[in-house]
């Protein structure tokens, strides 16, 4: 699973840093916790540095991690994670066909709610409407989150909208470029797509067993990384913001907002999420074309219903409910 020898010590160390007030951990505390000499502590810190962590040493205060490497293993996700259950169990994979497939499998095997599968490389990424999802190895976020809400399957689309809102909030935390939502679940920057969300279900007729929420984010890719056919429609956070972004930090912010909104959703329903969603949505009040598998509909977007279904008003004033489509703004 891509982890290395000595990772148990590293995990313990990183755990200490992530729990430390102000981030400082003394050499003595490390030596006590790991049951090793001060020289060994120094060696472990050197190991961290070699692995790409920037560690500061301050007299009397101890060590502090200033920057972590741009990796997305369980360790980097854990360091600084502010959630109770989302992302508390991470299955990291170097290379997979699709994180959705693995998440579905472990969800079936009873993986706890909040478990995520994260991959450094995805070879056969899946998109909505049977499309494929391409992502650049090491420069993207490709992950699938397992939730187990006790609710009927018809409500699952609301979770997709909740995810889109959470990602927009997280993007606000890590970049200054505005992100907009294009119904139902694309996130755009300056009119180009940076995030795709794919929600899949394991359910009985009246009860969800698990929801697998797949998120694909173009983070640090540069223009040359995109295949010719998507260059005009896709972009990355780095291209739009001009900055390299630490993927683990972005993932943590997503988990933080998702957990908060998910708890709120379970307690108070979809209304508060709907209001946030509408405030971030690009198309509310605009004329759009919605293409479903069987028809094309033009009209003005009124908003979404309390169930998360798109409301479209045609030229004759008839209001249509659109459950699934591609829209052109
Ligand atoms: C879309 O916009 O069509 C949705 C794209 C979803 C891509 C993500 S990447 C992680 C997860 N694994 C997949 O195979 N797909 C989703």
Q: What percentage of residues in the chain have a pLDDT greater than 90?
A: 81
Q: Whose CA is nearest to atom 11 of ligand 1?
A: 214
Question: Does the C-beta of 199 come closer than 6 Å to ligand 1?
Answer: no
Do 268 and 294 belong together in one domain?
Answer: no
C-alpha of residue 141 to centroid of ligand 1, in Å? 10
C-alpha of residue 6 to centroid of ligand 1, in Å? 33
Q: Residue 202: pLDDT above 50? A: yes
257 is a domain residue: yes
SS (H, E, C) 132-185: EECCCCCCEEEEEEEECCCCCHHHHHHHHHHHHHHHHHHHHHHCCCCCEEECCC
Q: Residue 28: pLDDT above 50? A: yes
- Identify the CATH number of the domain in which residue 29 sits: 1.10.10.10
Q: Residue 284: pLDDT above 90? A: no
Do 228 and 309 belong together in one domain?
Answer: no
Question: Does the C-beta of 100 come closer than 6 Å to ligand 1?
Answer: yes
C-alpha of residue 172 to centroid of ligand 1, in Å? 21
Q: Which residues have C-beta within 8 Å of that of residue 155, sequence separation ≥ 6?
A: 149, 270, 307, 308
pLDDT in tens, 100-145: 999 999 999 999 999 999 999 999 999 998 899 999 999 999 999 9
- Across the range 182-208, mean pLDDT stands at 93
- Across the range 39-54, mean pLDDT stands at 93
Do 121 and 264 belong together in one domain?
Answer: yes
DSSP letter, residue 229: G
Do 206 and 309 belong together in one domain?
Answer: no
- Identify the CATH number of the domain in which residue 190 sits: 3.30.930.10
Nearest atom, ligand 1, residue 195 CA: 2
2 is a domain residue: no
Instruction: Give the residue numbers spanning the domain of 320.
Output: 287-328
The number of angstroms, rounded, from the C-alpha of 311 to the middle of its chain's C-alpha atoms is 27
pLDDT value for 320: 93
Q: Residue 5: pLDDT above 50? A: no
Of 153-157, 209-213, 255-259, which gets the smallest average pLDDT? 153-157
CB 298 within 8 A of CB 288: yes
ipTM: 0.99
C-alpha of residue 316 to centroid of ligand 1, in Å? 37
- What's the CA angle centered on 138, arms 117 and 128, to 5 degrees? 55
Confidence band for 3, pLDDT divided at 50, 70 and 90: very low
Question: Does the C-beta of 280 come closer than 6 Å to ligand 1?
Answer: no
Question: Does the C-beta of 144 come closer than 6 Å to ligand 1?
Answer: yes
pLDDT value for 6: 61
pLDDT value for 205: 87
pLDDT in tens, 62-76: 999 999 889 999 999
**What average pLDDT does the chain have?**
93
Q: Indicate the pairing of strand 180-182 with strand 125-126.
A: unpaired
1 is a domain residue: no
Question: Does the C-beta of 131 come closer than 6 Å to ligand 1?
Answer: yes
- Identify the CATH number of the domain in which residue 293 sits: 2.30.30.100
Q: DSSP assignment of 13-73, as one string?
A: HHHHHHHSGGG-B-HHHHHHHHT--HHHHHHHHHHHHHTT-EEEEETTTEEEEEE--S--S
Confidence band for 308, pLDDT divided at 50, 70 and 90: confident
pLDDT value for 7: 78
Confidence band for 21, pLDDT divided at 50, 70 and 90: confident
pLDDT value for 2: 39
Residue in 152, 136, 153, 133 with CA at minimum distance from that of residue 144: 133
- Across the range 137-156, mean pLDDT stands at 95
268 is a domain residue: yes
Nearest atom, ligand 1, residue 127 CA: 3
- Across the range 291-302, mean pLDDT stands at 90
Q: Residue 4: pLDDT above 80? A: no
């Amino acid at each position: 699973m891509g982890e290395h020898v000595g990772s148990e010590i590293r995990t313990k160390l990183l755990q200490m840093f992530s729990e430390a007030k102000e981030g400082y951990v003394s050499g003595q505390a490390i030596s006590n916790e790991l049951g090793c000499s001060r020289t060994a502590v120094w060696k472990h810190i050197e190991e961290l540095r070699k692995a790409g962590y920037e560690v500061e040493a301050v007299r009397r205060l101890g060590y502090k991690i200033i920057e972590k490497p741009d990796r997305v293993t369980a360790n980097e996700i854990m360091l600084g994670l502010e959630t109770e259950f989302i992302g508390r169990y991470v299955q990291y994979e170097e290379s997979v066909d699709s994180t959705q497939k693995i998440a579905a499998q472990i969800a079936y095997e009873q993986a706890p709610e909040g478990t995520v599968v994260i991959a450094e490389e995805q070879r056969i990424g899946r998109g909505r409407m049977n499309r494929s999802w391409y992502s650049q190895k090491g420069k993207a976020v490709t992950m699938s989150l397992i939730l187990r809400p006790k609710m009927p399957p018809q409500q699952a689309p609301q979770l997709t909208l909740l995810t889109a809102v959470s990602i927009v909030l997280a993007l606000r935390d890590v970049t200054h470029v505005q992100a907009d939502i294009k119904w139902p679940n694309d996130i755009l920057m300056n009119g180009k797509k940076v995030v795709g969300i794919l929600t899949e279900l394991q359910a009985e007729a009246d009860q969800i067993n698990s929801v697998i929420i797949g998120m694909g984010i173009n983070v640090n890719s540069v223009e040359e990384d995109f295949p010719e056919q998507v260059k005009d429609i896709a972009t990355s956070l780095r291209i739009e913001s001009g900055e390299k972004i630490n993927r683990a930090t972005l993932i943590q912010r997503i988990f933080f907002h998702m957990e908060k909104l998910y708890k709120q959703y379970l307690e108070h329903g979809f209304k508060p999420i709907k209001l946030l969603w509408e405030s971030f949505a690009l198309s509310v009040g605009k004329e759009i074309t919605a293409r479903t598998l069987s028809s094309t509909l033009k009209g003005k977007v009124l908003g979404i219903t309390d169930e998360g279904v798109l409301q479209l008003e045609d030229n004759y004033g008839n209001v249509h409910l659109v459950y699934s489509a591609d829209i052109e703004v």
